[in-house]
Amino acid sequence: MVTRARDDIHMPNPRYANVAAPAPPTAPPPSVRAALRDSEWHAAMQTEFDALQANQTWTLVPRPPHANVIAGKWLFKNKLNPDGSLERRKARWVVRGFSQRPGVDFHQTFSPVVKPASIRTLVKSLYGLKQAPRAWFQRLNAHLRSLGFTATSSDSSLFVFKDGAALAYLLVYVDDIILTGSSATLLQQIVAALCKEFAIKDLGALKFFLGVQVRRDSRGFFLTQSQYTEDILERAGMSNCKPATTPVDDKQKLSVHDGDPEMDATFYRSITGALQYLTLSRPDIAYAVNQACLYMHKPRAAHWNLVKRILRYLRGTIDHGLRISVSSTTDLKAYSDADWAGCPDTRRSTSGYCVYLGDSLVSWSSKRQQTVSRSSAEAEYRGVANAAAECCWIRNLLHELHVHINKATIS
């Protein structure tokens, strides 16, 4: 019997006949020589150079003897709108930080980071320097304290301003900021004070940041990463895959030795890492992604099938997200669960929890336990301990945000 495929006869599946064609891709960023011939890219480079000059980023001095000179280069990027259309050209001058010598050119590099933000800023340091993030955070931290902000002990990147009834929160993520407050007048005063010290751009109400779309309505906020999900499916070559009803087969317990060992480990880690970020607004895939991450060190074909099952589930639930609702109560409730010896290789258990503040889900986790539990009761107690630790952190954070919870946490 001769099949149609052998006869080179191919017919698209009618299931995908009505799927809209993807938007044409944006032209990739050019080389430096090509950019110099393009007026738009030339203007973007001039804007970057003027900003560095205005910020007094460097000082010209004679080269010291035996100095390690760090070279730099231009990087070009097309900044896109949430719908994928071109917003503007972005040129950035960066230095080759990989040539820096530890202990000679830099010492401390750590800078606290938290969740995304939405006011772009400029740093008095060149992008690419290993110490640049820390130098920027120290400068911003000092200026915020001079304005009356205090850093929370629960999260060093979260700052609180309180003056009588006036209350504002400022959250820093590298060189991005989310700012909210009790009144529009207070926000304008804070932004004006920041503008005097830094060259910032106020983007207004938060709508889109780092792949997360924020929609407002009368009930609160809705966080979704639909466009980011589309990008993951396209990278994995599964834009038109058949949807699945669940993200994982609960009866399947994979081992590190299952399946054909022929698998592109770099590609597997790339897709799985992208799925990890997607759990920011998709708690429904947290367990499945955790299982896929267990095999990142040496993935096999069977493990890739697990990832494809997650992708098929995302194809059918691409508009799902996280609802942050207005609630009349601030009661804190936690739920936890755990299996027993679920991992066929290490016999360690997997535990998970979710925490609700009022009617909104604010924290969740699914993670394999660090030690082997000798009974199902011990596995459950370890899961409860993890949930209790998270609730203690949330209560401390809310206290520093001047949100008081008078009732004990229900778990």
Is the model more confident about 27 or about 384?
Answer: 384
Q: Which of 300, 321, 342 is at the close of a domain? A: 321
Reported as a single tens digit per residue, the pLDDT across 10-56 is: 344 444 334 344 444 556 667 767 777 788 888 888 888 887 777 66
Predicted confidence (pLDDT) at residue 106 exceeds the cutoff of 60:
no
Residues 174 and 120 in one domain: yes
How high is the pLDDT of residue 116?
35
Q: What is the mean pLDDT of residues 237-258?
A: 85
Residue 171 lies in a domain: yes
**Whole-number mean pLDDT of the chain?**
80
Residues 174 and 238 in one domain: no
Q: What is the mean pLDDT of residues 362-385?
A: 92
Reported as a single tens digit per residue, the pLDDT across 219-231 is: 888 999 998 999 9
Residue corresponding to tokens 């040539």: 99
Q: What are the Cα distances from residue 252, in Å, to 317, 324, 329?
A: 22, 33, 40
Residues 317 and 234 in one domain: yes
Residues 121 and 198 in one domain: yes
Residue 313 lies in a domain: yes
Residue 388 lies in a domain: yes
Residues 227 and 303 in one domain: yes
Residues 269 and 314 in one domain: yes
Structural domain boundaries, residue 360:
327-400
Q: What is the mean pLDDT of residues 388-402?
A: 92
Residues 309 and 337 in one domain: no
Residue 151 lies in a domain: yes
Residues 239 and 158 in one domain: no
Exposure pattern of 115-147 as b/e (b: 16+ CB <10 Å)?
A: ebbbbebbbebbbbbbbbbbbbbeebbeebeee
Residue 247 lies in a domain: yes
The total of structural domains in the chain comes to: 4
Residue 216 lies in a domain: no
**Residue 390 near residue 334 (C-beta atoms within 8 A):** yes
**Residue 397 near residue 155 (C-beta atoms within 8 A):** yes
Residues 235 and 307 in one domain: yes
pTM of the model: 0.69
Residues 314 and 344 in one domain: no
Residue 212 lies in a domain: no
